[in-house]
Structure 1
Amino acid sequence: MRQAPNDIPQEIVNNPLYYPYFKDCIGMIDGTHVDAMLPINLVARFRGRKGFIQNVLAACTPNKLYTYVLAGWERSTNGYRILQDALSRPQSHGLRVYDGFISPYRGVRYHLKEHSGKTPKNRRELFNLRHSSLRSKIESAFGTLKNRFKILCAKPHYSFPIQVDIVLACTVLHNFIATVDPRDKLLNDDEFNKDIDGEVAFENDTNLVDFTQNQSQREQTKSRNKWETLRDDIAWAMWVDYCDKFNHGVTTET
């Protein structure tokens, strides 16, 4: 969705790494894991390397307010499948995408730790670096949630449907606290609130689509091309500005 200038989040407007490139961004989407207790007939599907966990997909704004949460999926489920489920649900219960979304470049280093100590060598690396930096806002939101509500890491002895509801209730309380007290110390400690159990819900180029319901194959392809082109335009604008500032305007890529 294209936003009016006054609607652009301050977290984007005030950061030259994001503005004006992500001025139309209304939120980030990602997945995380929450500890779970399961009946014996379900444990195989929820088993992870750290025990039994449920997959949670969420969207949040740049100031870390949750706008959508889908909890209760099995650990073994691919993040993109969960995203598809969220998008396919009736509008009152599903994830609303106003226009579309942009994922990072596939096959190009992405996570912030992969960029540590390295300067971008081309527009794709620079785009992925800044995309990952903005995405870290939702990782921080997950970290805040788990650090504040320890029940999410305590394998609660409730029925699984109630465990799912607990996740939702915690996000509602998180939003209340963030709205009433935006200076809350836990909310603003990004370094402390890293989500070590996070995962990228969608990274492949094939996921760059406008998720309007009932699209034909041709419409899906057209949408994908649209968002690839928009991503390329943003990446090039970033690269030109970056080279003007740090490379005397030389835009040669390697």
Structure 2
Amino acid sequence: MRVILGNSGGQEEVDVEVSAEAARFKMNSNSNSQRMDGDFDDEEAVKRMCVGATFSVMVIIFIFFRRIKCRRRSIRSAPSDEKLQRERSRAELMRRIFHGYSDSCQNFVRMRPGAFMKLASLMRKQQLLKDSRNITVEEQLAITLNILGHKSKNRMMRTQFIRSGDTISKYFNRVLQAISGIQGRFMKQAPNEVPQEILSNPSFYPFFKDCIGMIDGTHVDAMLPAAIVSCFRGRKGVTQNILAACTPNKQFTYVLAGWEGSANDYRILQDALSRPQPYGLRVYIGKYYLCDAGYTTQPGFISPYRGVRYHLKEFMGRTPQNRRELFNLRHSSLRSKIEATFGILKNRFKILTAKPHYPFPTQVDIVLACTVLHNYITTVDPEDELLNETIDIEEEDVAEEISEDTNVMDFTQSQTVREQNSSKDEWRSRRDEIALDMWTDYCRRYRHGDTHESAL
């Protein structure tokens, strides 16, 4: 600050200058004070945030270590008497299933002990199922197989195995998925070769030497939402229609489940043929399946003559009078294998004869799981009692991977009506040739060469 000595005017000039300097100093001081107050508030907010975050982290760490401590204490501590009693009860139940009376295992899980233990070992080996801390693979399979075999309710399984309903449901669905994991091993499409059952039977060979299996449909009760139940309602009630193919040794080679019960069998077959390989039904060039009158004779499929006696019961006490009756008789005799296979399947797994209280996708999985288990049992335990039981047929109007895809007929290509009719006529002519060869051989064997036909 400058000080000027002189007259009063000069002195006044000094005072004004000093006053201006004082005003500027005061304004700067106020401005700095406001800036310092703002910075101080920001620092306080940051400090409060840091303190809060630190406190939250400390609480989380405290809770984490507290839970670890409690878990370690529970592991170190001995199980309660109630838990030990439940474990002993489950162990006793499993012991009675496998070591009770002679057929207790067969009755409870619908297969003999050897087949059951092999299945449990297979599930472990392929890591499809594993033991948990509280439940073994054997118990998981026993629960599921009892539900499939006896249509047991969830609450009954809760009582028998002393498990919660959620646990029963959880492992039931898990085992269904595990069974689907072995489907490729125990259900393979029919091989391009003559089945041994045909090759060793003079009534079938060489006439059916190109037959690789039989196809048919069956119905299983279904439970569906009211909005779509009408689509599944047919002459047998609310069902899902299942298309299956099997070989003469009563093994399924193809299963297509989930179709509406009101759907026509021929329509379902067309869907199976239109699917790309390996998901579609495989038909080799020159080979065929036997089917009933619900289908039509076409490339890869031969149905019986219409308007001619067909069912085996119709021939009791009466011999065939012409080539068509003879063909239908032997056609029915061979095709009845798939009817017997359906009977064995439903006799073993009673859940297929009742309305299942599961979501529809699970109902479809149940059908597929039962067919895979059927094939598994026929493979590992062909002497199983249920396989050799006499089944009343309801008549109505593991090998190497197959790689003969080059000989598979392609049904995905569209054909004109004329081409379809021409191919059907060709296969009807082939059926006539088979029938004539059968009749000639039959007359030579049993009619002293008399080929006269009546009521043709």
Aligned residue in 2 for 1:18: 204
SS at match of 1:26: strand
Deviation for aligned residue 1:50: 4.9
8 Å CA contact 1:123–1:239 kept in 2: the answer is: yes
**Whose Rg is larger?**
2
CA RMSD of superposed structures (Å)? 2.0
The question of 1:223 aligning with 2:423 is answered yes
In 2, Cα distance between equivalents of 1:178 and 1:122:
37
In 1, Cα distance between equivalents of 2:385 and 2:419:
46
The question of 1:80 aligning with 2:266 is answered yes
Which of 59, 70, 77 is residue 245 of structure 2 equivalent to?
59
After TM superposition, what 4+ stretches of structure 1 lie above 6 angstroms from structure 2? none
Deviation for aligned residue 1:193: 5.2
SS at match of 2:301: coil
Aligned residue in 2 for 1:213: 412
Aligned residue in 2 for 1:143: 343
Aligned length: 238
SS at match of 2:259: strand
Query: What percentage of aligned pairs have identical amino acids?
Result: 69
The question of 1:89 aligning with 2:288 is answered no
Deviation for aligned residue 1:36: 1.3
Change (3 A) 1:81 1:49: closer
8 Å CA contact 2:276–2:412 kept in 1: the answer is: no
Aligned residue in 1 for 2:308: 108
Which of 130, 138, 153 is residue 330 of structure 2 equivalent to?
130
The question of 1:30 aligning with 2:206 is answered no
8 Å CA contact 1:58–1:69 kept in 2: the answer is: yes
Q: Unpaired segments of 5 or more residues in structure 2?
A: 1-190, 286-299, 398-408
Aligned residue in 2 for 1:204: none
Q: Which deviates more from structure 2 when the two are superposed, residues 241-250 or residues 132-141?
A: 241-250
In 2, Cα distance between equivalents of 1:211 and 1:115:
38
8 Å CA contact 2:235–2:262 kept in 1: the answer is: no
Q: Which letter does structure 1 place at the counterpart of 2:412?
A: Q
In 1, Cα distance between equivalents of 2:425 and 2:236:
39
Q: TM-score, normalised by structure 1?
A: 0.86
SS at match of 1:15: coil
8 Å CA contact 1:144–1:193 kept in 2: the answer is: no
8 Å CA contact 2:274–2:411 kept in 1: the answer is: no
Deviation for aligned residue 1:47: 2.7
CA deviation vs aligned residue, 1:53-104 (integer Å, no higher than 9, x gap): 2111100111111111111122221111111111111222211111312111
The structure with more helix, counted as a fraction of residues = 2
In 2, Cα distance between equivalents of 1:98 and 1:199:
28
Deviation for aligned residue 1:148: 0.7
Q: Which deviates more from structure 2 when the two are superposed, residues 213-222 or residues 18-27?
A: 213-222
Which of 128, 153, 171 is residue 371 of structure 2 equivalent to?
171
Aligned residue in 1 for 2:354: 154
Q: Unpaired segments of 5 or more residues in structure 1?
A: 201-209
In 2, Cα distance between equivalents of 1:185 and 1:119:
33
Q: TM-score, normalised by structure 2?
A: 0.49
SS at match of 1:183: coil
In 2, Cα distance between equivalents of 1:107 and 1:236:
18
Deviation for aligned residue 1:113: 2.2
Aligned residue in 1 for 2:381: 181
CA deviation vs aligned residue, 1:198-247 (integer Å, no higher than 9, x gap): 657xxxxxxxxx76332333432332222112111110011011111221
SS at match of 1:225: helix
In 2, Cα distance between equivalents of 1:145 and 1:55:
15
Deviation for aligned residue 1:49: 4.9
Deviation for aligned residue 1:8: 2.2
In 2, Cα distance between equivalents of 1:122 and 1:171:
38
